[in-house]
Copies of this chain bind each other. A is one copy, B any other.
Amino acid sequence: MDAVADRPDPPVREMEAASLSIDPALEPARPRTFIKSIVSGEVGVLVGQKVVVGGWVKTGREQGKGSFAFLELNDGSCLSNLQVIVDAAVYPLSELVPTGTSVLVEGELKKPPEGTKQRVELRVEKVLEIGPVDPAKYPLPKTRLTLEFLRDFMHLRARTNTISAIARIRDELAYATHTFFRQNGFRYIHTPIITTSDCEGAGEMFQVTTLFSDAEKLEKELQQNPPPSESDVEAAKLLVKEKGEVVSLLKSSKASKEEIVASVAELNKAKENASKLEERYNLKPGLPRKDDKIDYARDFFGRQAFLTVSGQLQVETYACALGNVYTFGPTFRAEHSHTSRHLAEFWMVEPEIAFANLEVLYFNNLDDMNYAENYVKFLCQWLLDNCREDMEFMVKNYDKTAIERLELVSSMPFERISYTKAVQLLVNVTDRKFENKVEWGIDLASEHERYLTEVIFKKPVIVYNYPKGIKAFYMRLNDDKKTVAAMDVLVPKVGELIGGSQREERLEILIKRIEDSGLPLEPYEWYLDLRRFGTVKHSGFGLGFERMLLFATGIDNIRDVIPFPRYPGRADL
């Protein structure tokens, strides 16, 4: 009590009362109802019922010579707006109608007049809250805005129909992902974002460091508290020498034990002081260096650390213990790439399956390709089942074939052809001139991939068994010694959606593949241990989550299907 009583204000009881009191003008209490529940008739919302709804005005207009207003109110729970009618007696209409205004209103659901398209409308009895907008300053006018324009308003663009529809589709795909893997006995593993391994051995990686801020702190510290001069250090050293001489003298003169102990204590004190001074004297502003290089031993993790380019290698450690696992998280590439298909930060889904091959062998339903195909089909069916309204919006505004594509992919078996067969087919193409010449050994370009899936097969295609020279060291060498057990899933509209492989489980071959790739073995010792101790055949794949969104929505630029895109020169917010 004392500590509280010491402070004159605020009195305890009053504070409590103030924070918990209910404004009687706002009663009766009633929870907010989502507009989705109202417009879809989901939750037994009935004409005649009183509800509280909150949202942002999409469009508002005064009618009947200013006697009432219509508001199209959206709360983001679905694409549809709720039509809201407010009488001038209830609230000043001019404050309610500007686009972007937020309102929380209470009223009664009514049946609209015959001939209107709404199933239900809300007649407002009370305006509980309002967040006004000055239309002259609002950056997002009612007119249709380009997606490119909206990228300069990262903090407001979620209020548009397109970006909010994409956000809902993205949420559904994320939930569908967790649902699919759970149904198939997979465990979700959080692989690290900061890593000291480089998965591909070639990736352009972002470095994670505290050296700059440490250097800044040091510089400030040295300014506030200047280091000792050379003569300070010399004086301190001299003192050590003198104290040492005193100790010697006392010892040789057989002084009393106490005297010697006291002099040794003084000597130690002097030594400590000298070494502290010397350490501070040697402090150099700027980044720590050793042998003319930056001394990463003094960075946060005691070595260079990076942002992950893939969680695969790490999640393999869990696959080799839990069997079926997956990771779903952000990954990074520091590529100076300004295309509509690349981001510096993007999300990947990476399942990893123990006791699984690339193709069907003795596991009828457990191999890598089947999981990949089933997963993509599941995502497509999920959107058809759970996201109709937003998908119809995409069809109407961005891509007429978006729903057809989902139906096609969810219902048709994927074509499966070897890389060699794919090259054969592409070499024989006569109706089209490719920019990149096709021959066995090349990495297929996007134009080739799209031709295979869009023109030749008109459905998703899995291409497998790629030349080893164009694939990563960890992919399993086939018996032909020329190809590895890799596969890519190609889909119309985006080309490569999934890349996967069976992993090399044979220790000796893996070591040789690492060496042949020109990589050092030491950083991969832990990865080799998985093969040394109870190795298993295992396989996995990675799905670029934003690629899936481009595929599903028909949106052209990847910067519009992630809430906060990062690319060279831009990391807003």
Contacts and interface: CB of A to CB of B under 8 A. Distances in A.
Residue of A23, A210, A345 contacting most chain B CB atoms (<10 Å):
A210
A571 interface: yes
A365 B30 CA distance: 8
A206 interface: yes
A366 B31 contact: yes
A423 B385 CA distance: 53
A212 B453 CA distance: 41
Interface in A463-509: 464-465, 478-480, 482-483, 485, 505
Interface stretch (A82-90, A234-242, A247-255, A525-533): A525-533
A155 B529 contact: yes
A187 interface: yes
Given A365-B31, A505-B131, A534 B77 contact: no
A427 interface: yes
Nearest to A138: B533
A162 B21 CA distance: 48
Contact of A573 (B56, B197, B302, B536): B197
A155 B355 contact: no
Interface in A22-37: 22-23, 26-27, 29-32, 34, 36
A262 to B, nearest CB: 35
A121 interface: no
A191 B320 CA distance: 31
Contacts of A464: 19
Contact of A54 (B1, B355, B424, B533): B355
Copies in the complex: 2
Interface in A405-422: 418, 420-421
B4 A479 contact: no
Nearest to A528: B155
Interface in A441-462: 441
A264 interface: no
A314 interface: yes
Given A15-B480, A483-B15, A562-B190, A3 B427 contact: yes
Interface in A321-342: 321-324, 329-330, 332, 334, 336
A195 interface: yes
A224 interface: no
A477 B364 CA distance: 62
Contacts of A465: 15, 19
B128 A362 contact: yes
A166 to B, nearest CB: 11
A40 interface: no
A158 B361 contact: no
Contacts of A361: 22-23, 26, 29
Interface stretch (A107-115, A168-176, A266-274, A393-401): A168-176
Contact of A154 (B420, B479, B526, B568): B526
A438 B155 contact: no
A573 B170 CA distance: 30
A207 interface: yes
A530 B206 contact: no
Contact of A155 (B154, B188, B526): B526
Interface in A266-309: 287, 294, 300-305, 307
A64 interface: no
Interface in A79-98: none
Nearest to A529: B155
A131 B77 contact: no
Contacts of A209: 206-207, 209, 212
Interface stretch (A6-14, A225-233, A375-383, A550-558): A6-14
A563 B156 contact: no
A564 interface: yes
Given A210-B206, A440-B7, A19 B569 contact: no
A362 B12 contact: no
Contacts of A189: 167, 171, 563
Residue of A9, A14, A207, A303 contacting most chain B CB atoms (<10 Å):
A207
A321 B427 contact: no
Given A187-B168, A193-B193, A534-B56, A364 B19 contact: no
A122 to B, nearest CB: 15
Contacts of A22: 360-362
Contacts of A303: 571
Contacts of A310: none
A6 B423 CA distance: 12
A560 interface: no
A11 to B, nearest CB: 9
B155 A530 contact: yes
Nearest to A572: B196
Nearest to A129: B537
Given A1-B428, A168-B187, A300-B568, 19 more contacts: A3-B438, A12-B420, A14-B480, A16-B421, A19-B464, A20-B359, A76-B322, A129-B536, A137-B533, A155-B529, A164-B321, A167-B187, A190-B562, A196-B571, A196-B572, A196-B573, A208-B208, A300-B336, A314-B563
The 9 A-B pairs with the shortest beta carbon distances in the complex, nearest first, are A76-B322, A3-B439, A158-B321, A131-B535, A54-B355, A102-B534, A192-B564, A155-B526, A171-B187
